[in-house]
Structure 1
Amino acid sequence: MLNVVAIFLSITALLAYLNRRYVGLPPAIGVMAIALVLSLLNMLADVLGFHTLSLLERSLVESVDFSDLLMQGMLSLLLFAGAIHVNLQQLRAYRWQVASLAIVGTALSTAIIGVALWGIASLTGIQLPFLYCLIFGALISPTDPIAVIGILSSVGAPKNVELVMSGESLFNDGVSVVLFSLLMAMLVGAEAPTASGAAMLLLREAGGGALLGGVLGYIIYLMLKSIDSYQEEVLLTLAAVLGGYALAIALEVSGPLAMVVMGLIIGNQGRSHAMSQETERHVDMFWELIDEILNAVLFVLIGLEVILLHFTHTLLGVACMVILLTLFARLLTVGLPIVLFNKLFRLPEGAWAVLTWGGLRGGISVALALSLPAGETRDTIVSLTYLVVVFSILVQGTTVGKLTKRVIRPEK
């Protein structure tokens, strides 16, 4: 395992260097683009009879359980690292906007994509049961603002746009995992699900996760307040994340929501009342570094993962329709409400376009797809998910900055 970690970190560092030195794309987008190009070149070489590098890459990627790595390890660190930098006072001013987009928007997106995909599958002859279509809707709905937030900052986008986008993403990850778990329980359950059973599962997952995050966050806050030593305080936050996520899994509650709530408490209450300036500086530096390293590794893995997938002409055609479908669902569940209720959302004119186009799909979608039961249906879902994610990152991610400049006036 140590050898695999060393190899992937070395590959990530090399691709990050190449991107910074020669390509110049945002870090996460750049390393994924280079990894994807290298994988495609390897696949081409394999077709031409040069099998060595292709076999080596395939063996390396197969040695990593992507779903387990992200869902059981990296996700907790990434969500906490994102939440700890969110200003809760500012977020509170947009709490209803963020909550409506993250909860109602994600649920509606799941339904819209699921029903439409079922119709597309029926027309094209792809075998996708209705429940699997809804599962795809749940796993493809969460957004990943990693690359976009940096781009928005560089072009001077209003802070409230950044705040709503990052806040929505933090919470819709958790909402999506809860919906995915609920649908998976229906898939594997021997009995037909009832409304009360679904409500109880939702309450246990979401409510239990938020409660656990609140309790752990307050305990860590008290511990941070009682000492003044950045070494121990950084260690406490790291232990809280890894231990808290493991506890959430053991208690069968939502680990992602627990990490978001805990991160908000420590990043706000802890930052204001329990950390010295030196501790705050070290905690911020540590979690920013963790965030950047893990995101780089994650996006390299996404780029390399293509070598394990199999695409047909029919599947590629369906993927093009699904890409348009996900954008349309995003427009209906995010863009349209912002336009219709502009006074309530209090966002600048043109924000609806940025939030719609800037809703990138990321690693969590791929990880959830890979966690499905093995079979032909899973392979189809994984391939569709991968193509949507790659389009989202490479096309939307590289153009959202230009869109923002065109539709929103920069802050002075």
Structure 2
Amino acid sequence: MDSQDHVHFQMSISGNSTSNVGEQGIGTVILFLSFGVIAACICKLILSQLLKNKVPAPFTVIVLILGLIIGIITAHINQMSNDFLLGEQELNGINPHLIFFIFLPLLIFDSAFNSRFHVIQPQIISAILLAGPGVFICTIIVALCAVYIFPYHWSWIDALMFGSILSATDPVAVVTLLHESGASKSLAALIDLESLLNDGSAFVIFSIFKDIVIKKATTTTSIIVEILKFTMGGPAFGLACGILAVFILNLLNNELEIEIISTFGLAYLIFYLADVELGVSAVLAMVVMGLYMAKHKYCISSRVQLPIASTWRIIIYFINILIFMITGIILAHSLVGTQKHVDAIDFGYSIVLYLALHIARLLAAVILHPFIKWSGVNLSWKEYIVLVWSGLRGSMAVILALMVDSEKVIDEMIRHRVLFHICMIALLTLTINGTSSKFVVRFLGLNHGMCTFIKEKKSYFIIHIIYVKF
């Protein structure tokens, strides 16, 4: 994020001069989110107790649909004096940079820090291939679709910016999908790590093309410098911070509160420094720092490791409810006709785009297969099907689309259509791919990881009982 974006971000969350969110506005947002969290918990109870978890949709998808329903209902109600409706309207107009800085640091760091590094390590090269050349291939194919199939007369730069947004898969949704589908550890680790890394690479590509569109980057030299700064500076800064964090945490001995709070503070601090102060990829910095700390988990005191895992699990569960609820609301307002320049036929183009994304991901997997095999990862054709099917687009893509929509320099027609199609793809992949993932994994006979997952949950509760008792 450049300095101008930073200034806009600061103004939009701190002063009433650029935002109508005053004391009452903040109160209405808290009221709505409180209702949303309670409603999501009630849905979870209904699913687990009454329906015995027979609904195939992951919980995050249920929350998304709940937010979507609430958004559609409130979009047709004009009584703005109601505090509940005011809170929903404020969330619909939320600054995307606010979501970016509040939610992403914890979500990305959690996925990296609480990963099993010994399982992920053999998959690193393959994940880099999928997140590097793979993202570039997907971006090109989506851009081709936007230029030659869509009748919008977009320029290639506009189309490439659009393609880069759709190349970013959602690590939150993917992790949930894999854990609940019973996929093998190695396959789950590859897809999980790929989703983390391709968020970073997709954001780099998106930033470059967005800057070109809004006339901030015009020379080849400046573009190359930006790419190198993002791709090299982010991981280097993350590694340096990871080494420093491990060193500091090693000095602490069974300091429960300090060690737990330090991990949360580090996530926010490093993300901010990387993105705002240094101008490097905060996502890649967070991934590298988290993975380095995961490799050196011994830096966390032995008696703190279980409480810190439990704390992160609860916080991330809460954040997932919030972010998917907000995403559902944004999807609703984008799909029910409040956006200009969107016609009924655009829904059909979104279906075409949905199919094109799977073709792009499949083509990327086929092209990169020899290199993935060379890296030591031998995937069967069945595992490649799961790899292609798990390319969910969610909150990350919606955040990037909202960033485009907030750039008034970009043509209004382009902004509205980009937001519409991104929201449609997020809705389609989360509902179709997300709900059918268990069936696909079981149909292909790849659900042998489910037994391991159940055993690990039982072991976790046994260890927790022993820890509490003694």
Q: Scaled by the length of structure 2, what TM-score is found?
A: 0.79
Identity %: 23
Give, in angstroms, the shift of residue 191 of structure 1: 6.6
Match of 1:367 in 2: 399
2:425 is aligned with what amino acid?
V
Match of 1:61 in 2: 91
Match of 1:267 in 2: 294
**Measured at CA, do residues 336 and 34 of structure 1 come closer, stay the same or move farther in structure 2, by a change above 3 Å?**
farther
**Measured at CA, do residues 347 and 191 of structure 1 come closer, stay the same or move farther in structure 2, by a change above 3 Å?**
closer
**Measured at CA, do residues 55 and 409 of structure 1 come closer, stay the same or move farther in structure 2, by a change above 3 Å?**
closer
Q: Is 1:301 aligned with 2:346?
A: no
Q: Which runs of 5+ in 2 are unaligned?
A: 1-24, 48-54, 452-470
Aligned ranges 1:86-165 → 2 under 5 Å: 86-121=115-150, 124=151, 126-165=152-191
Match of 1:394 in 2: 431
**Measured at CA, do residues 136 and 282 of structure 1 come closer, stay the same or move farther in structure 2, by a change above 3 Å?**
same
Aligned ranges 1:118-267 → 2 under 5 Å: 118-121=147-150, 124=151, 126-189=152-215, 192-194=218-220, 196-228=221-253, 229-248=255-274, 249-267=276-294
Match of 2:103 in 1: 74
Give, in angstroms, the shift of residue 148 of structure 1: 4.0
- SS of 1:227's partner is coil
Deviations 1:213-269 (A, max 9, x none): 111111111110001112111121111111111111211111111111111122221
1:11 is aligned with what amino acid?
F
Match of 1:351 in 2: 383
Distance in 1 (alpha carbons) for counterparts of 2:29 and 2:290 = 26
Deviations 1:170-199 (A, max 9, x none): 1001111111111122223367431x4322
Give, in angstroms, the shift of residue 155 of structure 1: 4.1
More displaced stretch, 326-335 vs 136-145: 326-335
1:21 is aligned with what amino acid?
L
Distance in 2 (alpha carbons) for counterparts of 1:391 and 1:11 = 26
- SS of 2:94's partner is coil
> Which of these residues, 333, 341, 358, is aligned with residue 327 of structure 1?
358
Give, in angstroms, the shift of residue 336 of structure 1: 6.0
Match of 1:318 in 2: 349
The RMSD of aligned alpha carbons is 2.4
- SS of 1:353's partner is helix
Q: Scaled by the length of structure 1, what TM-score is found?
A: 0.90
**Measured at CA, do residues 136 and 313 of structure 1 come closer, stay the same or move farther in structure 2, by a change above 3 Å?**
same
- SS of 1:334's partner is helix
**Measured at CA, do residues 393 and 191 of structure 1 come closer, stay the same or move farther in structure 2, by a change above 3 Å?**
closer
Distance in 2 (alpha carbons) for counterparts of 1:191 and 1:82 = 32
Give, in angstroms, the shift of residue 10 of structure 1: 0.9
Distance in 2 (alpha carbons) for counterparts of 1:286 and 1:192 = 46
**Measured at CA, do residues 57 and 312 of structure 1 come closer, stay the same or move farther in structure 2, by a change above 3 Å?**
farther
Q: Between Structure 1 and Structure 2, how many residues are aligned?
A: 402
1:263 is aligned with what amino acid?
G
Give, in angstroms, the shift of residue 14 of structure 1: 2.2
Is the Cα contact below 8 Å between 1:15 and 1:35 reproduced in 2? no
Q: Which runs of 5+ in 1 are unaligned?
A: none
**Measured at CA, do residues 51 and 237 of structure 1 come closer, stay the same or move farther in structure 2, by a change above 3 Å?**
closer
**Measured at CA, do residues 278 and 173 of structure 1 come closer, stay the same or move farther in structure 2, by a change above 3 Å?**
same
- SS of 2:158's partner is helix
- SS of 2:132's partner is helix
Distance in 1 (alpha carbons) for counterparts of 2:415 and 2:194 = 28
Match of 1:381 in 2: 418
**Measured at CA, do residues 267 and 188 of structure 1 come closer, stay the same or move farther in structure 2, by a change above 3 Å?**
same
- SS of 1:180's partner is helix
Distance in 2 (alpha carbons) for counterparts of 1:316 and 1:20 = 31
Is the Cα contact below 8 Å between 2:238 and 2:286 reproduced in 1? yes
1:138 is aligned with what amino acid?
S
Give, in angstroms, the shift of residue 115 of structure 1: 2.0
Give, in angstroms, the shift of residue 4 of structure 1: 4.9
Distance in 1 (alpha carbons) for counterparts of 2:217 and 2:289 = 35
